[in-house]
């Protein structure tokens, strides 16, 4: 089965040598087009792989089900994370890609965090924008200095700062190289997010070169 048969998605090939590909994971109500402009802005020339979540909530695409705001259906989350990881591996084979850096917002950031904890070999790193801890009890995993940037909003009405800090601690405890930043903003993204992500990615790509 091809990647196109498992997830509706957009793929933009790299236009410059060097940058790691980005796996773009939208928030609730988004689709495969949502984060393409963000990806082009923060990683010029990088290949972009952007799937659409396969779960619907009141007609809005998501990557996994939730029981209430901030309360996840962890059984569904586990299943959907493995489905998405399988898609990434299929897409890598089809498009000739190295392991991507996940760039996820909100619901997309949460499933990216789950993928780090369940299928860490699929990703080379992650940028988690407005993420929260996906599991009440994180699985035991070794992340071997995998680079992760978590960007929270200090005025975010959806995600308590304690929850984002707990995610950062869980990933750090698993061995990831985590940078957790909090910006004076809410749940939505700001220009400060774009600058921070662009600089972080540029530094990581320079270190990997």
| Domain positions in the chain | 3-208
Q: According to the model, what pLDDT value does residue 205 have?
A: 65
Helices then strands, counting H and E runs in the chain, come out as 6, 11
**Where are any strands of DSSP class E within 88-176?**
101-105, 125-129, 147-153
Rounded distance between C-alpha atoms, residue 1 and residue 14, angstroms: 24
Which residues are 104's β-sheet partners? 25, 128
CB 188 within 8 A of CB 179: no
Mean pLDDT of the 11-25 span: 92
Which residues are 72's β-sheet partners? 66
CATH says 3-208 is which class? alpha beta
Q: Is the pTM of this model over 0.85?
A: yes
Q: Which residues are catalytic?
A: 106, 156, 187
Residue 85 clears pLDDT 60, i.e. is over it:
yes
Residue 4 clears pLDDT 90, i.e. is over it:
no
Where is pLDDT greater, at 69 or 133? 133
Residue 191 clears pLDDT 70, i.e. is over it:
yes
Mean pLDDT for the chain overall: 93
């Amino acid at each position: 089965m091809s990647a196109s048969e498992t997830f509706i998605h957009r793929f933009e090939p790299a236009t410059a040598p060097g940058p790691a590909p980005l796996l773009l994971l939208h928030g609730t109500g988004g689709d495969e087009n949502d984060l393409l402009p963000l990806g082009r802005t923060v990683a010029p020339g990088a290949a972009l792989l952007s799937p659409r979540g396969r779960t619907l909530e009141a007609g809005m695409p998501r990557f996994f089900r939730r029981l209430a705001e901030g309360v996840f259906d962890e059984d569904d989350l586990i299943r959907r994370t493995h489905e998405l990881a399988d898609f990434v591996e299929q897409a890598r084979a089809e498009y000739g890609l190295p392991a991507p850096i996940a760039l996820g917002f909100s619901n997309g950031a949460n499933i990216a965090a789950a993928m780090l904890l369940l299928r860490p070999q699929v990703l080379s790193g992650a940028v988690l924008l407005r993420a929260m801890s996906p599991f009440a009890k994180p699985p035991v995993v070794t992340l071997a200095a995998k680079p992760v940037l978590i960007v929270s909003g200090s005025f975010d009405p959806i995600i308590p700062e304690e929850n984002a800090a707990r995610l950062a601690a869980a990933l750090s405890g698993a061995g990831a190289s985590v940078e957790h930043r909090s910006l004076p903003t809410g749940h939505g993204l700001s220009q400060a997010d774009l600058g921070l992500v662009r600089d972080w990615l540029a530094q990581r790509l320079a270190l990997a070169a």
